[in-house]
Structure 1
Amino acid sequence: MQTLLLDSDAVAANAQMPDVIPAVEEAFAADDRGDVQMPAKSYIELEQYNGDFRSMPAYLDVTGSATAEEWDAAAVKWVNVHPDNPSDHDLPTVMGTLIYSDPETAYPLAIMDGTELTLQRTGAAAAVATDHLAIEGATSLGIVGAGVQSYSQLEAIAEIRPIETVVVSDVDDARVAAFVEAFGDQFDVRGGSIEEAASCDVLSTVTPVREPIVPREALGEHTHVNAIGADAAGKQEHEAQTLLDAKVVIDDYEQCTHSGEINVPWASGEFGEDDLYGELGAIVTGHVEGRTADDGITLFDSTGLAIQDVAAAHVVYERATADGEGTPFDLLGLD
């Protein structure tokens, strides 16, 4: 028995959004059913290197699903954030590695690039939230932040809404130009201000800022917001008033209150329990209602869950195995 090695290209080729989105949706549903084990994300702070490591383990069981193929899997993602890497070492700020295992035997079925996997599953999570919380006829998408995550946001959301117009905003004009060039043949896409992006039917914000940059008054009357950028304590992209005015849906209570979009106003007491609508998993299972005719602004606070990684890794592994892709090797020396 061998372990499959999957690099970033192999992960990208096998993490097709039409497959990853329903898998991630099933992960949210399994979470609501209680069919997951997901210990809290752990951190190793490395102040001397201006960076940190994060470990994200999880077990996911979708055998209780009435709509999906029955399977279970376990994985752990080891990921870093080292902001000085690009300038000092010519390396990416974020790198991740995921070990995907058979729960029955614990055999490591695959070792795969976790960076590309994270991009795809984060886009898929936004698509799931958008499907349940955005207006049905959403045709315009605004994106604030034209980094790598912006690409998967558009690719995923366009799978579940008839997106025609895209407005992307970033302080780096070169990034905006690259984004427009990448998608110009598929959408009516242009660069614009944060305010122009925020007025769209759907808005995804994917920046690392620690002070709000999206004005409350810039949002459309029925805009759905995917707040993606806040992934650590102290980060915040949206004004507290936006959170208070919106129907706020979170991916996980512990993570969002600690490091999600709501973490800053939560810590100050400006936003609390009574202001939360619910978790996305409960909406997916139908235990909590999604968008209603009376809703105005909706907001999904996405911190990224280990069960999303497991779901996306399952898709990648199964497809790569079926197509004979990746590099098998005898990791444990059993052959």
Structure 2
Amino acid sequence: MEPTVQVNDDFIKANTNFKELILALKSGFASEDINIPNRHHHLFPNPETGVDSTLLLMPAWHSGKEAGVKIATVSPENERFGLPSVHAIYILMNAVTGTVKATFQAKEMTAKRTAASSALASAFLSKENSTSLLMIGTGVLSTNLIRAHASVRPIDTVFVWGRNQEKAETICEALKHETFNCKAIASIDEKISEVDIISSATLSNTPLVLGKLLKEGQHIDLVGAYKQDMREADDEVIKKASVFVDSFGGRKESGDIFIPMEEGILKEKDIKGNLFSLCLKKTKGRTNDKEITLFKSVGHALEDLVAASYYYEKFTHE
């Protein structure tokens, strides 16, 4: 029996090549052999904070090869405890024997695969000559999203906004050796109308990306707002943009899609495609340089299985 290995966050941090991971995800979304049942999404009370936490169970399997499941919790008020909002573990198994091949500390893996998926979408949806990016949010995803987007587009200027200016400055300090310039800004309005790509990863309940401030040709990447009552973009954004999602199954999980659909602002037929249809070339991405495109991500179990396989190969072939 093959030994079970443990892959920690430090290994994942040190061994991520976004171009490689994006290509692996593209291959995974283009495959019709990976099975992804609906994920379990459960809210449970958190009396100490007064804000519900979320339990996610995300299984996937590639018959005859590998299977896996991620167990994750999201606790929006964890900042008061000095902890990240998301905690997760991933179990990778041999799909033939059912034996466990590896367990992963999945915080970094989740951040990396989420960022790589956004960059994969950007490769289809943003303008090829996009050089500027606005990052909204200063959580663990922010540096990953910036690096991932910069791996598929010639980004030379990055602006970072967060509710805490010091955190935004810390993000830029962490990126000071990258090929692009990074600057913390005091308000979103300062730069949102100027940049080519807007990436938002927050737990906001009210829209931060406003349609009235958008310009032609922008690409909007919405990664946060994972519950039905959360929103990062307002209705005007949805009306102006060509909307894409990571998977059609998750369109009712986030308020950015759920609320406009409930109110009749966005109909199911208005969603242009998802990562499966884009990678299988069943859907066309951006059609012209004036089009505003939007990608809404809620996370997908295929991304976890592909990422776990990617890091397992690296770990066992060091």
TM value normalised by structure 1: 0.88
What are the ranges of 5 or more consecutive residues in structure 1 without an aligned counterpart? 62-70, 324-335
| Structure 1 residues 280-316: Cα deviation after superposition (integer angstroms, max 9, x where no partner) | 2211221111112265100001111010011111110
Match of 2:99 in 1: 107
Contact 1:99 1:111 (8 Å CA) reproduced: yes
Tell me which of 182, 191, 199 is aligned to 1:189: 182
Q: How many residues align?
A: 310
> What 5-or-longer segments of structure 2 have no aligned partner?
none
Q: How far does residue 45 in structure 1 lie from its aligned partner after superposition?
A: 2.7
| 1:11 aligned partner, one-letter code | I
Runs of 4 or more off by more than 3 Å in structure 1? 83-86
RMSD of equivalent CA atoms: 1.8
User: Cα distance, 1:73 vs. partner?
Assistant: 2.2
Give 2:55's aligned residue: 53
Task: Look up the match of 2:71.
Answer: 78
SS at match of 1:155: helix
Equivalent of residue 205 in structure 1, options 200, 203, 226? 200
* Secondary structure in structure 1 of the residue aligned to 2:5: strand
- Letter paired with 2:7: L
Which structure is richer in relative contact order (CA contacts within 8 A, separation 6 or more)? 1
- 1:261 aligns to what SS in structure 2? helix
Letter in 1 for 2:188: I
Residue 318 of structure 1 is matched in structure 2 by 313
* Fraction of identical pairs, as percent: 30
Q: CA deviation at 1:81?
A: 1.3
Q: Which residue of 1 aligns with 2:163?
A: 171
Contact 1:36 1:59 in 2 (8 A): yes
Determine the structure 1 residue equivalent to 2:22. Answer: 21
Tell me how far apart the structure 2 counterparts of residues 215 and 84 of structure 1 sit (CA, whole Å).
25
Query: Would the aligned equivalents of 2:76 and 2:203 in 1 still touch at CA under 8 Å?
Result: no
Moved more, 173-182 or 41-50: 41-50
Q: Distance in 2 between matches of 1:250 and 1:241?
A: 18
CA distance in 1: counterparts of 2:172 and 2:83, whole angstroms: 25
Letter in 2 for 1:291: R
Tell me the residue number matched to 2:118: 126
Letter in 2 for 1:154: I
Partner Cα separation in structure 2 for residue 322 and residue 251 of structure 1? 31
2:143 to 148, 151, 160: 151
Q: 1:43 aligns with which of 33, 41, 44?
A: 41
Structure 1 residues 260 and 8, CA gap change in structure 2 (3 angstroms): farther
Check whether the contact 1:17–1:124 (CA below 8 A) recurs between aligned residues. yes
One-letter code of the match for 1:82? S
1:281-300 alignment runs, 5 A limit: 281-293=276-288, 295-300=290-295
Q: Which residue of 2 aligns with 1:330?
A: none
1:160 to 2:155 alignment: no
Q: What's the offset of the Cα at 1:107?
A: 1.2
Contact 2:59 2:301 in 1 (8 A): yes
Letter in 2 for 1:107: T
Pairs within 5 Å for 1:86-101: 86-88=79-81, 90-101=82-93
Q: Give matches, 1:256-267, under 5 Å.
A: 256-259=251-254, 261-267=256-262
Does structure 2 conserve the Cα–Cα contact (< 8 Å) formed by 1:15 and 1:117? no
Bigger Cα displacement from structure 2, 301-310 vs 287-296:
287-296
In the TM superposition, residue 211 of structure 1 has moved relative to its aligned partner by 1.4
| Change beyond 3 A, Cα 1:15–1:184 | closer
Does the alignment pair 1:230 with 2:222?
A: no
Instruction: Give the Cα separation in 2 of the matches to 1:86 and 1:229.
Output: 16
Counterpart for residue 332 of structure 1: none
Q: 1:84 Cα deviation (Å)?
A: 4.0
1:279 matches 2:274: yes
Tell me whether 254-263 or 242-251 shows the greater mean CA deviation. 254-263
**Per-residue CA distance 1:30-69 (angstroms, 9 max, x = gap):** 2xx3x221121213332145423211011147xxxxxxxx
Residues 73 and 257 (structure 1), Cα distance of their counterparts in 2 relative to 1, 3 Å cut = same
The one-letter code of the counterpart of 1:139 is T
The answer as to whether partners of 1:244 and 1:275 remain within 8 angstroms in 2 is: no
Mapped contact 2:94–2:100 kept (Cα < 8 A): yes
Distance (whole Å) between structure 1 residues aligned to residue 298 and residue 155 of structure 2: 24
Q: CA deviation at 1:254?
A: 2.1
Q: What SS does structure 1 have at the residue aligned with 2:123? A: helix
